[in-house]
């Protein structure tokens, strides 16, 4: 499991991966759930739905927002930072 990715992307390519991961409302909902403490694949499946779950988790992992180890999900530093941002935007009535 990778540990400690910093919140700021190092390159335009990394920024594009983060943008792609968070442009999808299902993945935004998933990252909010993770910030709120739901850190198991099963828990995310129940809360966000199982449709394309592996694909959505892969996109979040590819963007460096989460790390997967079996059924456990760990938010990276980037995941925590972007997750907090997405959550606060949703709380203010923004897109999620």
* pTM, entire model: 0.85
Query: Tens digit of pLDDT per residue, the chain (96 long)?
Result: 444 445 566 788 888 999 999 999 999 999 999 999 999 999 999 998 898 999 999 999 999 999 999 999 999 999 999 999 999 999 998 765
Task: Check residue 1 and give its pLDDT.
Answer: 43
Task: Check residue 96 and give its pLDDT.
Answer: 56
Strand 66-69 with 72-75, pairing: antiparallel
CA distance linking residue 87 with residue 46, whole number of Å: 19
Q: Domain spans of the chain?
A: 12-88
Task: Check residue 7 and give its pLDDT.
Answer: 59
Task: Check residue 17 and give its pLDDT.
Answer: 93
CA distance linking residue 65 with residue 91, whole number of Å: 20
Is 83:7 a contact under the CB 8 Å cutoff? no
CA distance linking residue 88 with residue 53, whole number of Å: 24
Say if domain 12-88 classifies as CATH 3.40.50.300. no
């Amino acid at each position: 499991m990778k540990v400690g990715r910093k919140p700021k992307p190092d390159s335009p390519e990394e920024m594009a991966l983060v943008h792609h991961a968070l442009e999808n409302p299902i993945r935004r909902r998933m990252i909010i759930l993770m910030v709120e403490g739901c850190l198991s694949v099963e828990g995310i499946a129940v809360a966000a739905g199982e449709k394309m779950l592996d694909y959505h988790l892969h996109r979040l992992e590819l963007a460096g927002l989460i790390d997967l180890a079996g059924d456990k999900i760990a938010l990276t530093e980037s995941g925590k930072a972007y997750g907090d941002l997405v959550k606060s935007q949703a709380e203010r009535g923004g897109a999620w």
